[in-house]
Amino acid sequence: MAGFSERGGTKNARRRFVFKGAKGKEISFPLGGIGSGCIGLAGNGRLLDWEIFNRPNKASTNGFSHFTVKAEAGGKVLDARVLNGDLMPPYVGEVGKSYGFGPSRDQMAGAPHFGDVEFTGEYPIASLRFNDGKFPGEVTMVAFNPFIPLNDADSSIPAAFFEIRVTNDTRKPIDYTVCLSVRNPLLAGSTVNAYGANGKVRFIKLGSSKLNSEDPDFGDLTIATDAEDASYQEYWYRGQWFDSLGVYWRELSAPGRFQNRHYAESAPGIQDVCTLAAHFQVKPGETGGSRFVISWNFPNCYNYWKPEKGSQEGACPSKEKGTWRNYYATLFEDSTKSATFSLENWQRLHDGTLRFKDALFSSTLPTYVLDAISANISILKTPTVLRLEDGSFYGWEGCNPMFIPINISLKPRLHSLTS
């Protein structure tokens, strides 16, 4: 990548966009399409702010959703870690959730993490470098969603893109496993997780057995990879208290691949978690990796902030009472279609996004201008904006973290996306 300075070109100015330790604590890097909502990538690698359900959803974590990485050689596990940096203080827990009892379990507290993370945020691409003296390999993550000027369709894909790469810095070949685990966010007691394959793409689709296509909460979510060698687990173990997490970590920490677990029926009160794993061997001094996509399709928007007469929060409003389809739902039938498209077109989508990012960050603009520009264009990938079925683009004055928009009227239409 080209370096830059405020007037002429040293790489030192790039350090403004590199965050470590406490400086990364407040980061939530939005990964999603224009008008599709987003998932936030935290400064330590956590997945948070799951705002994919047609409304703001700050501070949400979607259960045990996370990445992990494992290294093994000679039939023995050398190390396994959550692909997050260590939690920052305070450690008393969160107000309204676990205050006084320590960090909540959905932060994977108690499982091994990486001691240090370096987060480079040059929107629309985030790069993370995970450091730990004990893990046998250098681990990096690149995360983005397509941001390609004059290409609003590809820039509106409802998905988060991740590439995790490991450089083997030891003297022997190592088998690495990268896992993505995600909780089914749909109605508890109705969750259905199903593995499938489409060409080179392997995926798990997360849906519901009880929501019909007209329900405002109807939708699905897909996790997918194009790794040549993959294993999976449609369902984590269903148990009491901490059993599901404990059994998962024991199975992850064992040598070899995941064995699938399948339940024929949904269980009352449970939102099942699934895991998709990519396996690859890396020789000494070489680098290997895998790509993952989290994609979603929650097509039914409705006016929940100011319901029309006869409609109420939690009800199933009719088409005549403030309900419309998201634009992205006209591009893709479901989340599996968008996940497959994303992986099959990865290189083109990544290269177009990288060209825009490099054009911006290699310019001679002062770094504080670059910071302001890149931070503000990220708003296009958040619940602050939405697109109607015909592609019309609307925006809010802003979003309230308490799960409701600040204002109750939409801004005028911006024609530049649809003309």
- AA letter at 227: A
| CA 219 – CA 239 distance, rounded (Å) | 26
Between the two ends of the chain, the Cα-to-Cα distance in Å is 33
Q: Supply the pLDDT for residue 309.
A: 66
Looking up residue 97, the CATH number of its domain turns out to be 2.70.98
**More confident: 87 or 416:** 87
Q: Does some domain include residue 94?
A: yes
Q: Does some domain include residue 238?
A: yes
What tens digit of pLDDT does each residue of 173-182 get?
Answer: 999 999 999 9
Q: Does some domain include residue 329?
A: yes
Q: Supply the pLDDT for residue 310.
A: 56
Number of domains in the chain: 1
Q: Does some domain include residue 1?
A: no
Q: Does some domain include residue 7?
A: no
Q: Does some domain include residue 15?
A: no
Q: Supply the pLDDT for residue 2.
A: 34
Segments forming the whole domain that contains residue 130: 59-361
Task: Using the predicted structure, report yes or no on whether residue 311 has a pLDDT greater than 90.
Answer: no
Cα dihedral angle (101, 103, 106, 109), rounded to 10 degrees? -120
What tens digit of pLDDT does each residue of 17-58 get?
Answer: 999 988 999 999 999 999 999 999 999 999 999 999 999 998
What is the mean pLDDT of the segment spanning 205-228? 96
Task: Using the predicted structure, report yes or no on whether residue 403 has a pLDDT greater than 50.
Answer: no
Q: Does some domain include residue 370?
A: no
Q: Supply the pLDDT for residue 314.
A: 46
Residue with tokens 């990544």: 350
Task: Using the predicted structure, report yes or no on whether residue 252 has a pLDDT greater than 50.
Answer: yes
Q: Does some domain include residue 25?
A: no
pTM for the predicted model, two decimal places: 0.91
**More confident: 311 or 206:** 206
| CA 38 – CA 30 distance, rounded (Å) | 6
